Structure 1
Amino acid sequence: MSKKSISNIAKQFGIKVTGHKQIRKGIFRIIASDGQAYSLKRMPKPLARLRWIDRMLLRVRNKGLRLVWRNPQRPVGSRLYAASPKGELYVLIPWFAGRMPSPRSLRDMRACGFALGRLHTAGREGLKGHFAYSQIGVWPQTLQARHRYLQKKIAKANGNGFGSMAINRFVQRHDPEILRYANEAKALLRSSDISRTAIIHASTVC
């Protein structure tokens, strides 16, 4: 995307761009004229779903959970989205200089699970009844489908392989542990009441 296109989208939020950097496809770090950094992110979601996401995140944040999302009380956060000439939806949120969790770090993975669990628990009251995009009640089937997916990939590594000996050796070495975690996740979900399923689900998808 050209600098002019980025500037035009950011202008809809009341931001004058003085610098930008593409982080990945559809995500840009932009610097405003006042020196503040923001993330301009393309949201490949229908508008109705984006509005639902916004309502839920604002509700969760009002419960005290720290989230990097728009603040509707501030001028730069008063607008939910902007549209590109192609009709793509973009959101503007404060830039958070964090880091990606390492899948090799048990500490990082546990922190991800607890963070997602807190998010699901805080938003639980807003997830009552039937509504679009709900996945309530589908977690057992989801875990079962992912278990079958893991089994398929492990069989491939033990058979024809992926074309990379390093990946094959990794999967072959750790396949008992991977399947054990998958079985434990399903067992925990079966034995847990509804108040705990959010935390269990969060810890398995992080």
Structure 2
Amino acid sequence: MKPHVICQFLEHLFDLHCVQIDRIKPGVYRIVEKNGRVYGLKQMNFTRSRLEWMDASLAMVRKRGFTHYVWGTWHDLKQGSTAYLLMDWLPGVSPDPSNLLDLQKAAALLAMFHRAGCEPLVRGTGARVTFGTWKRQFQQGSVWLERARRENWPFLQGKSISLSAYRKMQKRAQLALDILQQEQYEKISRAQGVLCHGDSGPANFIMNKDDVRMIDFETLRIDLPSYDVFRMIRLAGKKNGWDLAAALAVVDGYERISPLSLSERQLVIAWLAYPAKLCKLLRAYGVATRGQRDALESRMAHLIKREEGLSHLVQQLRTQL
């Protein structure tokens, strides 16, 4: 969106007169108002009903006392078009994925968010509900993994991905399913979910000397708390080399507010074990042209190599959690 269009949009719908616009990344802008106040403007590619559900859900947790997040007001650029969210620009930095204290603080805030986001929850046509879907997702991924091995897809015939490394990913997928079975996931998933961030890595928290806040709620959903704990461990782990101490710091910080049951801990491990990224790439590979397959094979090889440390972390956590 061009700067003059943004200025007209902000003046017309928000009565805001901007003097500076900085493009941070596609769809995200830093806005400086005439009086010096700084805002963020973010493109929100969602239906109106989903955005209204986000509004209502975040208003619910605020009413229950959780105010440590950044949200704002959205309007359509023009009727029926893409919406943009205007919010305060919060100074600070994201938690350091290698700093155990930072991770503990972020995890504790996540637990507070879950406590405020317990039942009764906001439902409706725009609600995103994902709890109860894990087993089906894991099973579908396992089918793709087995199909590729059984049919000896071309990427398994080259040198970039060894069959032994691939089989390790299959074993991780089976471990994830085994844990769901052992922990009676289907029974648990019929229980009440909580409001989850959905992408709760360090990058979606902002820290300053006085406060920690959550940001970026595009992935907001109703699910089990274990999903958000998994996301924090995984996204931090990608940056800290799958460090066990960092993963345990997340669990420790979370449990300072809300203890996790043994089953909830095991469900965290199930998601860490499940090779979701690889399964997604396999689905794409299965329908790709020959020219597209080379790029996908390179991505799969890089992913399998990168997740060797994650496989080791899963084994460590099975004895620690």
Please give the TM-score of this superposition, normalised by the length of structure 1.
Answer: 0.66
1:122 partnered with 2:123: no
Give the 3-state SS of the residue equivalent to 1:38 in structure 2: strand
Q: Could you give the per-residue CA deviations for residues 137-195 of structure 1, whole angstroms, max 9, x where no partner exists?
A: x5232343145337736976995339xx87x57x9387378537734763557275836
Instruction: Give the whole-Å Cα distance in 2 for the aligned partners of 1:4 and 1:146.
Output: 47
AA in 1 matched with 2:4: K
* Distance 1:81-1:141 versus aligned 2 partners, 3 A rule: closer
Write out per-residue CA displacement over residues 42-75 of structure 1, whole angstroms, 9 at most, x where no aligned residue: 22222232122111112212323211013xxxxx
The aligned residue for residue 148 of structure 1 is: 140
What is the letter of the counterpart of residue 81 of structure 1? W
The equivalent of 1:40 in structure 2 is: 41
- Quote the Cα distance in structure 2 between the aligned partners of 1:155 and 1:20: 50
Partner of 2:229: 203
Per-residue CA deviations over 1:82-134 (Å, capped at 9, x if unaligned) read 221472211101123443875xx696888776655543431223426x62244
For 2:229 and 2:140, the matched residues in 1 are separated by 19
- Identify the residue that residue 10 of structure 1 maps to in structure 2: 10
Q: Secondary structure at the match of 2:155?
A: coil
The amino acid of 2:137's aligned partner reads A
Query: What displacement does 1:3 show?
Result: 0.5
* Percentage of matched positions with identical amino acids: 19
Letter of the 1:28 counterpart: Y
User: Aligned pair 1:160/2:154, yes or no?
Assistant: yes
C-alpha separation in 2, matches of 1:177 and 1:192: 24
**Please, what is the CA RMSD of the aligned residues?**
4.2
Q: Give the unaligned 5+ runs of structure 2.
A: 194-222, 233-321
Matched residue, 1:75: none
Kept in 2: contact 1:61–1:67 (CA 8 A): no
Instruction: Describe the shift of the 1:151–1:113 C-alpha distance in structure 2 as closer, same or farther (beyond 3 A).
Output: farther
* 1:83 alignment partner, one of 58, 62, 76: 76
- Across the two proteins, how many residue pairs are aligned to each other? 190
Specify whether residues 178 and 119 from structure 1 end up closer, same or farther in structure 2 by C-alpha distance, changes over 3 A only.
Answer: farther
What's the secondary structure of 1:125's corresponding residue? Answer: coil
Contact 1:60 1:122 (C-alpha < 8 Å) held by counterparts: yes
